[in-house]
Structure 1
Amino acid sequence: MIRELAADLVDLIFEWGYLGIFLLMTIESSFIPFPSEIVLIPAGYLASNGDMDIGMIMLSALSGSMSGAFVNYYLALLLGRKILRKYGKYFFINGDSLQKMDIYFQKHGHISTFIGRLVPGIRQLISIPAGLARMNLAVFSTYTALGASIWAFILVMLGYFIGENQELIDSYLKQITIAVLIVLVLLASWYIYYQKTKRIE
């Protein structure tokens, strides 16, 4: 039901061209759950037919992803602490927890943001703790853009090379998601090992 409604929305927005991709990716990257694959895979297919340009699709997708991420970041930055100071006790969050989060994101915010942008279900939310922790905006932007670009490119290429074969797309998307998660686990493991050896030195 939700996928059908989302598909209808995509059909409507795609009439707006690259602006439609930008708007949908802004929604997808903000606090509103919206699967990016139903936007970028069809866009890749349209590019394979010559109806859209891959470069413009990527630019629109990345711009939208960044806009949505900034919405979450600034909402958390401007309102998050006020809300947590008032209601945080109900979620076992106190001043010490916020201080620990600040310290963590100062040291490891870049890798956390990059990995988070590539994990389904987390990519929209990783901007919130980054904003709460007042993560450096330039670092946040760089690693958000890097992670968002990789994921967008994967989806656009799926649509470009596989087209309308939904069964094959679902199969490949599942395999790619698993492969990406394995790579991220390896990356996180290497990072933890690197940090430990760095402390020893």
Structure 2
Amino acid sequence: MIEWMLNLMNQMGYLGIFLLMILENLFPPIPSELIMPSAGFAASPEQGQLNIFGVVLAGALGSVVGTLPLYYIGKVFGEERATAWADRYGKWLTVSGEDIRKADDWFDQHGTKAVLFGRMVPGIRSLLSLPAGVSGMPLPKFLLYSFLGSGIWAGLLAAAGYFLGENYDRVEQYVGPASKIILGALALWFVWWIIKRRRERAQGS
């Protein structure tokens, strides 16, 4: 995969980085922890093929564009449909329409911070686009905070590849497992939350 990404960047330059970061948001097996450090390495003095600022900009823009499909899916679905779905089909997950409304209210208050900082968290970077769309976050605000968060994330990864040089692949060795740990922790929390809700309902009945 690394060779394929490097070849794409060598052939297409910044456009290749842009396209890869779009794909990274849509297909998690292509992680930014591989794309941006390798792009940073391509901009290093050892390679000199790209400019580090152009690399970061292309990565940030691609990442933002890649968030739009999930954002629009959430926006089309909307709070009303999500609430109706939860009331009708959410019983086995112990999710109710009221839960959806509370989550939407929370996102209305803290959504900007969630999008900004969430774009820097491996494993959930893309997933935050869905609740942003469901809550009806205005598109300009969503794009702004997505760009800021994505720019910081892309900058950190590209800088790591730039300074590590040929050892840029070490970034993925450290960050990759972190994303799996975060996803695993979220899955465990979700299972615990379902069990807790079912016990509460059983005790209340």
TM-score w.r.t. the length of structure 1 is 0.74
1:38 to 30, 34, 41: 34
Question: Partner residue of 2:55?
Answer: 57
Which residues of structure 1 form unaligned runs of 5+?
A: 1-5, 182-201
Q: CA offsets, 1:126-175, max 9 Å, x none? A: 1111111112323222221111111100111111111112575467x55x
**Aligned residue pairs: how many?**
170
Aligned partners of 1:66 and 1:144 also within 8 Å: yes
Contact 1:98 1:133 in 2 (8 A): no
Matched, 1:77 2:72: no
Q: How does 1:21-170 map to 2 (within 5 A)?
A: 21-30=17-26, 32-33=27-28, 34-48=30-44, 49-79=47-77, 82=81, 85=85, 87-166=89-168, 169=171
Residue 203 of structure 2 is matched in structure 1 by: none
Greater gyration radius = 2
Identify if the C-alpha distance between structure 1 residues 74 and 170 changes in structure 2 by more than 3 Å, giving closer, same or farther.
closer
Alignment-derived partner of residue 14 in structure 2: 18
CA distance in 1, matches of 2:150, 2:168: 23
Corresponding residue number in structure 2 for 1:191:
none
Distance 1:77 1:96, change over 3 A: same
Deviation, 1:61, is 0.8
1:54-94 Cα offsets, whole Å, 9 max, x none, are: 22212211111111111111111113654771644443333
CA contact (8 A) 2:38 2:168 kept: no
TM-score where L is the length of structure 2: 0.72
Instruction: Read off the aligned partner of 2:4 and give its amino acid letter.
Output: L
* Cα distance change of structure 1 residues 75 and 154 upon mapping to structure 2, 3 Å threshold: same
Residue identity over aligned pairs, in percent, reads: 38
2:119 maps to amino acid = R
